[in-house]
């Protein structure tokens, strides 16, 4: 690979503390299928961070898997899920949700977020019962696929709208760490318990080898969830692998420290670019930023760094995606801005 | 936990060589989604062991996941899969195969194996087109769920029958290592390439943290398989985790050494029990053995060791399952037989 | 065709009264999708026969369709349905239930009926949560696929068992008319409302061109059922076609008269065969009977009549299926027994 | 109901010739499940109209059912279907296609039609394999949901694009009669055989009680289609009901005569409205027309006639949908325009 990859936040392995714990516990025999003591302890630790021991917690391997299980567990066959047109379930899961039988109703969103009026429009358009699907769940991601972050007021507004309209509110937290530690964020983990029905805390993109923790807040939605995990092929024999990782991430506050670092590196990068007068597709809020650059500059940058070209803006300009992670060294950020100084 | 657990072959973490490699490669940036160099190398190493570079190889996390993806990728909606009534897909996957839309046609099997005449009976019973499903795939496991192992002649007979009848032959190799290194085995890895359409090599139960390598022998069955992996939620962002493990297992012959050890421990155990005149539910062939013991003896044994009670035989006797793994120390085997000497 | 077909009870069109009503109402404009006045009236008439106006009633075209909709509406993805191994959903629906994602747990049954101890055995075998499906519904047919009929005590025993074990009891009534008018029957239509959760009344095999009336007894199970009908492609634009037919069948007691005739013809036939000393595979109770005859006699009979050869008994004998319908003339029955007198 | 309903083209029963044939053949015993002689004859008659006996023909009950079966038969799980955002499968089938596991990729369309550049845009946007679905089928309706009709050149352009890009072209012909007899149409039935892979001829909206004829042009797509019909609950026991109707419709040219009448009535209506200076949402081409009227006029009209309010245009105006059918008498059209003369 080249100087450094800003492609994504999963180019490295795991935080060394996690690997160390895996090594230390390696030969201690444990029950399989998530019944191990590490998984049990990790769930308690997360509940402590949630300041609430009512939610049920389940560990699975990845985000698409979490979305498949949550959505297909909670919807009846004729019920659909509302998502932004840029939502991960709509774009980047190879039809995984439809493969479980459910339609996604999409709303156009510039910044990746959904607002009550978007949901209202979908509900209004689905008034021809029984010829249309019945929208029953709202899927949001925080941070979103374009790095934006919900405010507490926005979340509460969604929650109130969903309650009034008997909709399930589900937050995809593949990058929840980045959201909760973003500079402008005013949501705490315990707020998410209060203002969503289900959410998940992403480990894979925040220092784990793999692993997402699904949190089901309402008891009525918790029933038989374990069957769904097994049925969708997501129940690891060695569930300890997930338990140990979340144990390390939440024993103290490693989860938050890693996310904060990723954000800080991205903000450093965004600051430097802004100083150079470079505009952004979406205001840079968390660990993913989307500067708009001349195509020639992008070509130059490509020779030294890895990143995605996100979207063509016009004939001369494109937006690129730069992602910082728990592992991104400040040096790499400075190399990139230094190199940019030379070519732009 | 108690003195020692013979519950299964996934009570420990991973072989130390695997963990060491994870640590050593941890911060080297890699492409995501299985495009990393370790995954590519691991596939080449496996092809070398297969003595054949035509098969396509894909890594996924677990056995149920592998079964879901293989079966739903290769069957049309009206096609069914034939399995032993004791088959993992029939009993222990929470309806995962049916959840993808496919019926399982079951055959009764004492020893966990399927023979051409079993398939013949299913085909004959499904002659009322289009009112019945169309059996199109045969699912076998090797070693089976009761530890038995196919002979080469048995495999070739199945293969010939399947070819004649346009059936896909799929081998679930969750415990393929145990099969291939069983004392009575006469099948080599390259035979499986020749005499099946698809199979998978199980890592989870043979020294890996998680991971199964799906091998698709026929090019016509390989098409678009990557989409199915993604759609079923099985494409890990950090695919390196799977690649590194299979790299270590197949760089030399660690995979086989670990399996052989598990078998040797089980054979040692079986030999000791046989000497005491203890009968078995199924002749002990690989790393899972099923001795039949008086219920009182089982209760005694339970106080010192973990294991499954497999099946009630009559009012006084039950069969138990004892599983040895790559990690089972000879000392544990001797403790069990020593303790049994005292109480039986 | 030959002299007469005893193949099934759907070889003719519809009872002439039904066709007459279709002609008479043909050009009266009506709302589509079952909102027509005939459908509304027909539902009221059926509720009157049920002596209960709480059940929700929905008309669909066929039995497999009814089974697909009922089962997929009421089960969550991990839940399964228990059925006799001879049950229509298990054998003759081309995997339609599995295609909606649900496993069928089968019980062996000589006479086509299920008893509480059969269900008990299934529940006991499914105690390894969450690795196994969760049996949640019991599917019975009345009359069964081999013409047997449940007694009221048998039905109540099933109902009580299901209530105690939180199972949904669903009766496939493709031939409910034949069951309710069978000589030995002691169940009335209103009993079925009381002792099942859902059932359907078959029109297709009892004088209609097509049409089954699904009856959902419990309000909690009625919710959103209309969506499922639409989603499975079962909502006819011209719902009047179903409404008019059930209107004619239940305006007075045509439904029962037609079923009684079919039974009487079958009993006449069965009586004649019994007099000749011919044994039956299952005691003849309704409009389907299964005499056991020498293969040579069957060959002779085949030259004059249409019927299914049901099952080989031994080298010399087979059971055949003879079905009488609302349209079977006594003359045809006498021709068959007369012909048999000549050759047997 | 009121003076007359222009709600849809399925408010009446069937053309009297169809009912007469049902009555005449009623007691002639026939094989079930579409093996009757009427179905066989009807298929031959349709092939004669297609000027081609290679296509396989299957009869089912309704349009949603046809769409479910065709799409789920021809796509693998990861493959999607492209449709207009106004397409029936996208809007009005309660998620039926997604319920079989497939995503719909939508394109915005003012006139209900799809063009090669729309498909091109979808393909370009789905270049991130294997994270996205693989578009594999194009679904068009002719006439469309807003009454527009494809020209032969438009169809050929789509066909060529689809062939080049290995896409299956499927035409929903719920209102194919209206399309083929529209004043501006230049497509013949035999062209559709040549320039699509699959299509269906709608009977329900063109004089039948129910029934659509699915035509599969390519042999490779025909395989095992009968299983899918059964599995989706669409195989009628009394398949004769469908066979007889298509026999009557295609014995001579009743199908076309009925469609032509519907178009003529709609054109008469459209002409009258145009003379009054009333604009249309979409140019009126077939039996569905969409005039734009002041809301006050619509309210007046509502007191005398049934029709759908299609879409709000602005605060004062809305588009309504007026549908003429094979059964619409000229008198009803004149009543409506006469009444409109009084109030507008």
Determine contact: C315 vs chain B, CB below 8 A: no
List CB contacts (< 8 A) between B81 and chain C.
none
Determine contact: C92 vs chain B, CB below 8 A: yes
Q: Does residue A179 have a pLDDT over 70?
A: yes
Q: Please identify every stretch of chain D with a pLDDT value under 70, giving residue numbers as ranges.
A: 1-2
D176–chain B nearest CA distance, Å: 28
Using a 10 angstrom Cβ sphere, with 0-12 exposed, 13-18 middle and 19 or more buried, the burial of residue C77 is buried
Determine contact: C341 vs chain D, CB below 8 A: no
**pLDDT at site C2:** 65
| Band of pLDDT at residue B3, cut at 50, 70 and 90 | confident
**Cross-chain Cβ contact B16/A31 below 8 Å:** no
**pLDDT at site D54:** 96
User: How many Å apart are CA C82 and CA B7, to the nearest integer?
Assistant: 30
Q: Is A285 helix (H, G, I), strand (E, B) or coil?
A: coil
The nearest alpha carbon in chain B to A93 belongs to: B231
- Would you say C135 and C168 are in contact if contact means Cβ atoms under 8 Å apart? no
- Structure tokens belonging to residue B156: 């070739």
User: What is the mean predicted confidence (pLDDT) over C211-219?
Assistant: 97
User: How many Å apart are CA C48 and CA A262, to the nearest integer?
Assistant: 69
List CB contacts (< 8 A) between B70 and chain D.
none
**pLDDT at site D2:** 64
> Is domain B16-253 classified as CATH 3.40.640.10?
yes
| Interface confidence: ipTM more than 0.95 | yes
Could you say which of A94, A128, A131 has the minimum Cβ distance to residue D133?
Answer: A94
**pTM exceeding 0.90:** yes
Closest CA to C255 of C28, C49, C6: C49
Determine contact: B224 vs chain D, CB below 8 A: yes
User: How many Å apart are CA B212 and CA B236, to the nearest integer?
Assistant: 13
**pLDDT at site C215:** 98
**pLDDT at site B90:** 98
- Would you say B168 and D265 are in contact if contact means Cβ atoms under 8 Å apart? no
B133–chain C nearest CA distance, Å: 4
Which CATH number describes the domain made up of D16-251? 3.40.640.10
In this structure, the dihedral spanned by the alpha carbons of residues D51, D54, D58 and D63, taken in order and rounded to 10 degrees, is -60
The total of other beta-carbon atoms located within 10 Å of residue B271's CB is 12
- Would you say B62 and B204 are in contact if contact means Cβ atoms under 8 Å apart? yes
User: What is the mean predicted confidence (pLDDT) over B306-325?
Assistant: 97
What phi and psi values does residue B80 have, to the nearest 5 degrees? -120, 170
Closest CA to B19 of A244, A237, A213, A325: A244
- Structure tokens belonging to residue A178: 């980045």
Q: What angle, rounded to 10 degrees, do the helices at C16-24 and C240-251 form?
A: 130
Q: What angle, rounded to 10 degrees, do the helices at D16-24 and C16-24 form?
A: 170
In this structure, the dihedral spanned by the alpha carbons of residues A162, A163, A165 and A169, taken in order and rounded to 10 degrees, is 30
Q: How far apart are the first and last CA of chain D?
A: 23
- pLDDT over 70, % of chain A: 99
C129: left (phi over 0), alpha (psi -120 to 50) or beta: beta
- Please provide the average confidence, as pLDDT, over all residues in chain A: 97
User: What is the mean predicted confidence (pLDDT) over A45-72?
Assistant: 98
The total of other beta-carbon atoms located within 10 Å of residue D316's CB is 10
- Structure tokens belonging to residue D300: 């007046």
Which residues of chain C are in CATH 3.90.1150.10 domains? 4-10+255-343
When scoring A237, A239, A307 by the number of chain B Cβ atoms within 10 A, the one with the most, hence best to mutate, is A237
Q: Does residue C82 have a pLDDT over 90?
A: yes
**Cross-chain Cβ contact A227/B94 below 8 Å:** yes
Which residues of chain B are in CATH 3.40.640.10 domains? 16-253
Which residues of chain D are in CATH 3.40.640.10 domains? 16-251
**pLDDT at site A2:** 64
- Structure tokens belonging to residue D310: 């299609």
- Structure tokens belonging to residue A227: 């069957």
Q: Does residue C344 have a pLDDT over 90?
A: no
Using a 10 angstrom Cβ sphere, with 0-12 exposed, 13-18 middle and 19 or more buried, the burial of residue C10 is buried
User: How many Å apart are CA C205 and CA D23, to the nearest integer?
Assistant: 18
Note the pLDDT tens digit of each residue in D120-163. Answer: 999 999 999 999 999 999 999 999 999 999 999 999 999 999 99
Note the pLDDT tens digit of each residue in C220-253. Answer: 999 999 999 999 999 999 999 999 999 999 999 9
**Cross-chain Cβ contact A103/D91 below 8 Å:** no
Closest CA to C129 of B291, B10, A229, A134: A229
User: How many Å apart are CA D260 and CA D266, to the nearest integer?
Assistant: 10
Q: Does residue C3 have a pLDDT over 90?
A: no
B158–chain C nearest CA distance, Å: 25
**pLDDT at site C149:** 98
Which residues of chain C are in CATH 3.40.640.10 domains? 16-252
**A50: Cβ contacts below 8 Å, ≥ 6 apart:** A189, A190, A193, A215
Q: Count contacts between A and B (CB, < 8 Å).
A: 158
- Would you say D238 and C10 are in contact if contact means Cβ atoms under 8 Å apart? yes
**Cross-chain Cβ contact D78/B231 below 8 Å:** yes
Using a 10 angstrom Cβ sphere, with 0-12 exposed, 13-18 middle and 19 or more buried, the burial of residue A335 is middle
Tell me which DSSP letter residue A205 carries: G
- Structure tokens belonging to residue B71: 């079966």
Could you say which of C78, C93, C95 has the minimum Cβ distance to residue B95?
Answer: C78
A237–chain B nearest CA distance, Å: 6
Could you say which of A77, A129, A231 has the minimum Cβ distance to residue C228?
Answer: A77
B33–chain D nearest CA distance, Å: 10
Q: Does residue B2 have a pLDDT over 80?
A: no
Could you say which of D94, D101, D132 has the minimum Cβ distance to residue A98?
Answer: D101
When scoring D59, D72, D73, D77 by the number of chain B Cβ atoms within 10 A, the one with the most, hence best to mutate, is D77
Note the pLDDT tens digit of each residue in C163-187. Answer: 999 999 999 999 999 999 999 999 9
CA angle A12, A258, A17 (to 5 degrees): 70
Q: What class is the A16-252 domain?
A: alpha beta
List CB contacts (< 8 A) between B71 and chain D.
none
Determine contact: A103 vs chain D, CB below 8 A: yes
Note the pLDDT tens digit of each residue in B95-142. Answer: 999 999 999 999 999 999 999 999 999 999 999 999 999 999 999 999
> Is domain B4-10+255-343 classified as CATH 3.40.50.2030?
no
**B24: Cβ contacts below 8 Å, ≥ 6 apart:** none
- Most distant CA pair in chain D: distance in Å? 62
């Amino acid at each position: 690979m080249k100087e450094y990859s800003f492609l994504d936040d999963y180019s490295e392995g795991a935080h060394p503390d996690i690997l160390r714990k895996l090594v230390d516990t390696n030969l201690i025999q444990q029950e399989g299928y998530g019944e191990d003591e590490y998984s049990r302890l990790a769930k308690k630790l997360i509940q402590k961070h949630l300041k609430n021991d009512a939610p049920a917690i389940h560990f699975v391997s990845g985000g698409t898997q979490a979305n498949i299980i949550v959505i297909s567990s909670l919807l009846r066959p004729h019920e659909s899920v509302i998502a932004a047109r840029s939502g991960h379930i709509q774009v980047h899961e190879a039809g995984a949700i439809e493969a479980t039988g459910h339609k996604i109703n999409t709303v156009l969103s510039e910044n990746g977020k959904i607002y009550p009026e978007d949901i209202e429009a979908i509900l209004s358009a689905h008034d021809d019962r029984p010829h249309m699907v019945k929208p029953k769940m709202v899927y949001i991601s925080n941070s979103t696929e374009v790095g934006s972050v919900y405010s507490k007021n926005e979340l509460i507004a969604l929650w109130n709208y969903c309650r009034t309209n008997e909709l399930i509110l589900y937050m995809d937290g593949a990058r929840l760490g980045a959201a909760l530690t973003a500079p402008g964020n005013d949501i705490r983990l315990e707020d998410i318990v209060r203002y969503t029905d289900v959410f998940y805390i992403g480990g894979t993109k925040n220092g784990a080898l793999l692993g997402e923790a699904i949190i089901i807040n309402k008891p009525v939605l918790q029933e038989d969830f374990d069957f769904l995990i097994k049925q969708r092929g997501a129940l690891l024999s060695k569930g300890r692998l997930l338990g140990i990782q979340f144990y390390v991430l939440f024993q103290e506050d490693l989860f938050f420290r890693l996310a904060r670092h990723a954000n800080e590196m991205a903000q450093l990068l965004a600051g430097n670019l802004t100083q150079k007068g470079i505009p952004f597709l979406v205001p840079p809020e968390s660990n993913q930023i989307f500067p708009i650059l001349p195509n020639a500059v992008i070509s130059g940058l490509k020779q030294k760094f890895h990143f995605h070209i996100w979207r063509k803006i016009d004939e001369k300009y494109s937006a690129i995606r730069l992602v910082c992670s728990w592992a991104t060294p400040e040096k790499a950020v400075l190399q990139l801005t230094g190199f940019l100084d030379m070519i732009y």
